[in-house]
Amino acid sequence: MTKTKYNTETTNWNDSYLLGIPMIDNQHKKFFVILDNLETLNQKQEKSEMHSLINELQNYVIYHFQTEEDLMVKSQSPNIDLHVMEHELFRKKVEEFHHSYYNNNEELLNEMISFMRKWLLIHISGTDAEYADSIKNTLGIE
């Protein structure tokens, strides 16, 4: 079996997902901190804290995707439209998750956290990795 750069067997962050763009890498890591916290609160059934953390996730998705999209435009990265479309689909999924949870569909929580972890890792190792070089060149990162 050939070993690839990215480990798609796990849904946890590891350094194989680093793109070499510190600002973006740190933001990607933050996503997994938020998801870890969601899982912990869900296991403890801390519903009062869940609401604020879900809001934090939703706001962070908007912030991070805007950061990536701005960098892509600045660096004239290829396939920006496709990348933005992927971001929009994920934003909508997070919104669905938000509404479902607020409508007392807590069973959905584990499923959504798992989906978000997998989606983020696939997105980072695929779509994000495709534009990393053009952004590093624009920002002067070696």
Total domain count for the chain? 1
The pLDDT of residue 20 is above 70: yes
60 part of a folded domain: yes
118 part of a folded domain: yes
What is the rounded average pLDDT of the residues 118-122?
93
pLDDT digits (tens, 9 = 90+) for 33-75: 999 998 888 888 777 788 889 899 999 999 999 999 999 999 9
CATH of the domain at 87: 1.20.120.50
134 part of a folded domain: yes
DSSP type of residue 16: G
Read off the tokens for 29. Answer: 């890591």
91 part of a folded domain: yes
Write out the residue range of the structural domain in which residue 101 sits: 20-40+47-139
What is the model's pLDDT at position 44?
81
10 part of a folded domain: no
Cβ–Cβ under 8 Å, residues 68 and 21: no
62 part of a folded domain: yes
What is the rounded average pLDDT of the residues 124-140?
91
Supply the DSSP string of 43-86, one letter for each residue: HHT-HHHHHHHHHHHHHHHHHHHHHHHHHHHHTT-TTHHHHHHH
- Report d(CA 60, CA 86) in Å as an integer: 16
